[in-house]
Amino acid sequence: MNRFLTTILFLLAFSSISLGQGKGKQPNIILVFMDDLGYGDLGVTGALDYHTPVLDRMANNGIRFTNFLVPQAVCSASRAALLTGTYPNRMGISGAFMPNAGVGLAPEEETLAEMLKSKGYATQIIGKWHLGNEPEFLPTKQGFDAYYGIPYSNDMWPVGFDGKPAKTDSYVAKYPVLPLLQIKGGQARPDTVMKINNLEDQAVLTEKYTRQAVDFINNNRKKPFFLYLAHSMTHVPIAASKKFRGTSEQGLFGDVMQEIDDSMGQILKSLKDNGISDNTIVIFTSDNGPWLNFGNHNGSSGGFREGKGASWEGGQRVPCIISWPNKIKEGRINNNLTSSMDIYATIAELSNFKGQKNQIDGISFLDQISDSNAPAHRQSMYYYYNKNDLEAVRYKNWKLVFPHRSRSYEGILPDNDGFGGKYNEHEIKEMELYDLRRDPSERYNVIEQNPEILKVLLGIAEEARNDLGDNLTKSEGKNRRPLGRIK
C-alpha cells in the first residue's frame, strides 16, 4: 500500500472517530438550556436542601465546565449567542425582546438548527424561544422542523406577582395572554395549544416539555436528531407540578429544581430505552445567572459576584455539563475558559460543517471532550451589556472592569414568595483588575500591582472596540450586522 493511500485511510478513520460515529452514524445532540439557573443551583455545585441526582451523575460521568461564560447575562442576547456562536451585539441584539416588538434574530443569521438540518438531522425546539415572536422570526424560520413552547419569557403576561390578573395600572397589564404554541412540520403559522392564564397553567410546563422531548426522541431514534430543550424554569414566576410540590426542604424553588432533574432523568432513560444513549451528546447549561432580588424564588450564583443582568461573574458564569458516553469514558472537570458561543463552533467541527456564511466568535473545544490534556483554545472574552457597552474584558484568569453603572443586588434586601425586590445601582468610577484564580468573587482590585497584565487587557479591549464598538467610549465598530426587523 503506497504512502498516499495509507494517509487517506488514516484520515478517514480519524474522521469517523472524531464524529463518534462507530458504524458511521452521526451523534444525536440534545441541548438543554435553563432560564436564570445560577452556578450554585445543582447538587454538584453546592445546592442545599434539595437534590439533583440525575444531573449530578451526568457531571460525575461526563465533563463539567467550571469556567463557562455566556456572552451577555440576559435572555434574548444569550439565546442568540448560543444558537449562532456569535456575540449578540455583533448581530444587533441586546437585552430581552418584548412581545410584538417587531424585532428578532435576523433571517440571515445561521443557527445550530440550520447547520444540522443541512447535515440530515431532524430538528426541534421545545420551550422558550425569545428571539422574536412574529411569524417572520419563529423557530421554523431558523432551521427547526417543529416548535412546541412559549414565544418569550413566562413573566411577560398580564398577571401580577400574586398570580392574579394584573390591575389596569400595572405595567404588565399591557402584555398579551401568554400562549403555549405548536408548529408541526409544514405549518405556516402556529397553533395555540393552551393559554397560560395563571400559576397552575405555568405549573404544567415542565411536564409538558418533557413529554414532548421524550416523544421526539422515540419518533427519531433511527436517524440523527437535534433537540433544543429551553426550559421556562427557573425564570419567575416559578411553578412545579402537583407531583413535586412540597418534595424539597427548600420550598418551591427546590421543588422546581427536583422536577427539572426528574425531567432530565426521563430524557436519559428514553435514550437508553431506544439504544441510542452512547451515541447522544447531552449538553446542560443556562442562559445567565440567578435573578437574585426574587429571594427564595430564585437561586444561587455559587459565591460569584452579583447575578442576572450584571457583567460580574455571578451574571455570566453558569453551570455546563456535557455527557457523551461514546467519547467521555470517565468523569472530568474542565477549568478552561469556555463560552456558550463555543458550542456552535464545537458542533460545526463535529459535523464537518464548513459552509458558514457569517463571522462567528465561538471557538471549538471538541478536542477537549476526548483529551483531558488538550490545551485551552479560548484565551479572551468580552463582557458587553445594555445596547453595546463594553463593561469588562477577560484574558485567561485576569478580568479588567471598565467604568460603568450597573444593576446591583448588594446592600439591599430581596423580596420573597414570587415578588421581586428593588435593585441597587453600582458605579465603577475607575478601571479595576481582578485575578479570578485567587479572587473569583471579584473583591480585590490589583490593578496597581500588574501593569503588564493591564497592558494586555487594554489591547484586547481595543480589539473589541474596533470590531464590535463600545457605547461607553463612543466607538462604532467595523463588523456589526443589523438586527432582524419586520420589513
Cell of 453: 497584565
Q: Count the neighbouring beta carbons within 10 Å of the beta carbon of residue 203.
A: 21
SS3 180: strand
Q: Does the CA dihedral 338-341-342-347 come out positive or negative?
A: positive
Which of 75, 235, 297, 320 is an active site residue? 75
314/410 Cα distance (integer angstroms): 12
The interaxial angle of helices 205-219 and 252-273, nearest 10 deg, is 10
Task: Reply yes or no on whether 297 is catalytic.
Answer: no
Exposure letters 27-63 (e unless 16+ CB within 10 A, then b): bbbbbbbbbbbbbbbbbbbebeebbbebbbbbbeebb
Distances (CA, A) of 57 to 53, 78, 208, 264, 413: 6, 26, 24, 11, 35
Backbone angles phi, psi at 174, to 5 degrees: -80, -15
172/166 Cα distance (integer angstroms): 7
User: Comparing C-alpha atoms, which of 344, 348, 353 is closest to residue 84?
Assistant: 344
Residue 292, C-beta contacts closer than 8 angstroms, at least 6 positions apart: 298, 301, 306, 307, 308, 314, 409, 414
Residue 15, C-beta contacts closer than 8 angstroms, at least 6 positions apart: 352
In the chain, the amino acid numbered 344 is Y
What is the C-alpha R_g of the chain?
22
Name the strand (E) or helix (H) holding 135: none
End-to-end, the C-alpha distance of the chain in Å comes to: 61
Do residues 280 and 226 touch, judged by C-beta distance below 8 A? Answer: no
Which of 130, 231, 297, 404 is an active site residue? 130
Cell of 83: 444558537
Backbone angles phi, psi at 346, to 5 degrees: -65, -45
Task: Reply yes or no on whether 75 is catalytic.
Answer: yes
SS3 391: strand
Report cis status (omega within 30 of 0) of the bond before 71: no
Per DSSP bridges, beta strands 398-401 and 389-395 are antiparallel
Longest dimension (CA), the chain: 81
Q: Which residues are catalytic?
A: 75, 130
